């Protein structure tokens, strides 16, 4: 039975109100921060988001800030709901994927446009350069203060088909989960298909899709290798994510509490980037039969993009991915991107 968003939202608010019951402050000035994290079974929550709010911030602040975090998976939330609920004040801090908010305004997409960045160090430069633009958008659209940008492991193509170069993607049915990924797929001559993450393995097995796009460690953890044979390692995205606080909550904090939060969240973000870089490399090794600290290695064929693939990607990136995004976002938005991100990548966003 389909439940309307309004009904689902009301139910979600009621459930969250019970889950995040009021906490009695030990002192009048103690701040209690209710946070929602990402997936409870993945490293970002298990190693970083959860421990930070449930343990680290209380110690770092000398008890001035008490945190409480639960992953969205435990709360039964869908990604697109999270910032809407934060704006309503149902909780105080939200972690989520940029893809969750991209539908609200194309400006959010600019930090993680498909296939533009092939290494994590460059992706961090892009996020830092684009941060002020996103901070303004978060404040204007969600009345929220953006405090961090970080990434999940890189997004690649996992195919149950013979894919030995980018040219082999032509005509393939490829699972995507965002508009910009769809732009890339269509740019290489494939067909973009929307399939829920949990249904990708049977979709690969039944030929509903030929390939699926997801992160390296999620693909390993979900055993996509049971249905896919070829790992095409061109990075087509980074799963860039955010941490943002309800602005009223932020403004209610003392200057000292704000400074502590900014300092500790910056250190948290550094740890998350470092962990993701290590995990990304390990997951690719695991899924393609190499050394594996995550479990038993799989045996997918690892296909690295050739120099010709990367050259073709440059053309698709500018002529399709960036051009379509510039049209969605508008001239002013594209001009802002060209000023801060364009010089890093040597690319220009311009509608055709």
**Rounded distance between C-alpha atoms, residue 85 and residue 91, angstroms:** 7
What domains lie within the chain, and their CATH numbers? 5-153+238-280 (3.40.190.170), 155-237+297-345 (3.40.190.170)
Supply 49's token pair.
């988001």
CB within 8 Å of 137: residues ≥ 6 apart: 105, 107, 108
Quick one: pLDDT at residue 16?
Answer: 55
Quick one: pLDDT at residue 347?
Answer: 95
Q: In what order do the strands lie in the sheet with 211-215?
A: 191-194, 173-176, 211-215, 155-159, 230-237, 301-303
The three-class DSSP label of residue 244 is strand
Rounded to the nearest 5°, which phi and psi values hold at 292? -145, 120
Q: In what order do the strands lie in the sheet with 93-97?
A: 65-71, 31-37, 93-97, 240-246, 144-151
User: How does DSSP classify residue 156?
Assistant: E
**Rounded distance between C-alpha atoms, residue 35 and residue 70, angstroms:** 7
Quick one: pLDDT at residue 24?
Answer: 39
CA 345 to each of CA 9, 17, 277, 329, 341: distance values in angstroms, whole numbers, following the listed order: 40, 44, 20, 19, 7
pLDDT tens, position by position, for the chain (352 residues)? 333 434 444 444 544 544 554 443 434 489 999 999 999 988 999 999 999 999 999 999 999 999 999 999 999 998 889 999 999 999 999 999 998 898 889 999 999 999 999 999 999 999 999 999 999 999 999 999 999 999 999 999 999 999 999 999 999 999 999 999 999 999 999 999 999 888 999 999 999 999 999 999 999 999 999 999 999 999 999 999 999 999 999 999 999 999 999 999 999 999 999 999 999 999 999 999 999 999 999 999 999 999 999 999 999 999 999 999 999 999 999 999 999 999 999 999 998 7
User: How does DSSP classify residue 110?
Assistant: G
Supply 155's token pair.
């997004």
Quick one: pLDDT at residue 3?
Answer: 37
- Alpha-carbon Rg for the chain, nearest whole angstrom, is 21
Query: Can you say whether the dihedral through the CA atoms of 166, 184, 151, 120 is positive or negative?
Result: positive
Closest CA to 148 of 29, 41, 52: 52
**Distance from the first to the final alpha carbon of the chain:** 43
pTM of the model: 0.88
CB 244 within 8 A of CB 141: no
**Rounded distance between C-alpha atoms, residue 84 and residue 246, angstroms:** 10
CA 175 to each of CA 94, 140, 186, 212, 310: distance values in angstroms, whole numbers, following the listed order: 27, 32, 12, 4, 21
Q: What is the DSSP string of 80-100?
A: GGHHHHHHHTSSSEEEEEHHH
* Pair type for strands 144-151 and 93-97: unpaired
Supply 319's token pair.
């002529």
CA 145 to each of CA 137, 190, 254, 261, 310: distance values in angstroms, whole numbers, following the listed order: 10, 38, 15, 12, 37
Backbone φ/ψ region at 232: left (φ over 0), alpha (ψ -120 to 50), beta: beta
């Amino acid at each position: 039975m389909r439940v309307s968003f309004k009904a689902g939202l009301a139910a979600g608010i009621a459930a969250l109100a019970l889950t995040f019951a009021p906490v009695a402050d030990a002192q009048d000035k103690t701040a209690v921060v209710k946070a929602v994290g990402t997936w409870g079974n993945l490293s970002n929550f298990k190693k970083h988001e959860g421990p930070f709010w449930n343990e680290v911030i209380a110690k770092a602040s000398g008890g001035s800030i008490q945190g409480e975090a639960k992953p969205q998976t435990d709360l039964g939330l869908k990604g697109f709901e999270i910032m809407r609920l934060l704006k309503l004040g149902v909780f105080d801090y939200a972690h989520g994927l940029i893809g969750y908010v991209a539908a609200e305004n194309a400006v959010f997409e600019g930090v993680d446009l498909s296939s533009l960045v092939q290494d994590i160090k460059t992706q961090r430069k892009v996020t830092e350069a684009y941060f002020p633009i996103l901070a303004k958008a978060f404040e204007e659209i969600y009345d929220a203060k953006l405090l961090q940008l970080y990434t999940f492991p890189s997004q690649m193509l996992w195919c149950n088909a013979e894919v030995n170069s980018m040219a082999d993607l032509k005509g393939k049915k490829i699972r995507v989960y965002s508009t910009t990924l769809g732009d890339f797929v269509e740019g290489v001559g494939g067909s973009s298909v929307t399939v829920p993450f949990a249904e990708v393995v049977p979709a690969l097995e039944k030929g509903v899709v030929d390939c699926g796009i997801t992160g390296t460690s999620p693909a390993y953890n979900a055993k996509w290798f049971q249905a896919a044979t070829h790992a095409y390692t061109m990075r087509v995205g980074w799963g860039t994510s955010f941490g943002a606080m309800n602005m009223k909550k932020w403004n209610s904090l003392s200057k000292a509490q704000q400074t502590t939060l900014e300092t500790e969240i910056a250190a948290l973000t550094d740890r998350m980037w470092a962990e993701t870089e290590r995990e990304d490399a390990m997951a690719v090794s695991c899924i393609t039969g190499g050394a594996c600290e995550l479990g038993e290695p799989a045996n997918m064929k690892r296909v690295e993009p050739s120099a010709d693939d990367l050259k073709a990607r440059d053309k698709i990136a500018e002529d399709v991915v960036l051009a379509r995004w510039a049209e969605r976002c508008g001239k002013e938005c594209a001009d802002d991107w060209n000023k801060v991100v364009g010089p890093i990548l040597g690319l220009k966003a311009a509608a055709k």
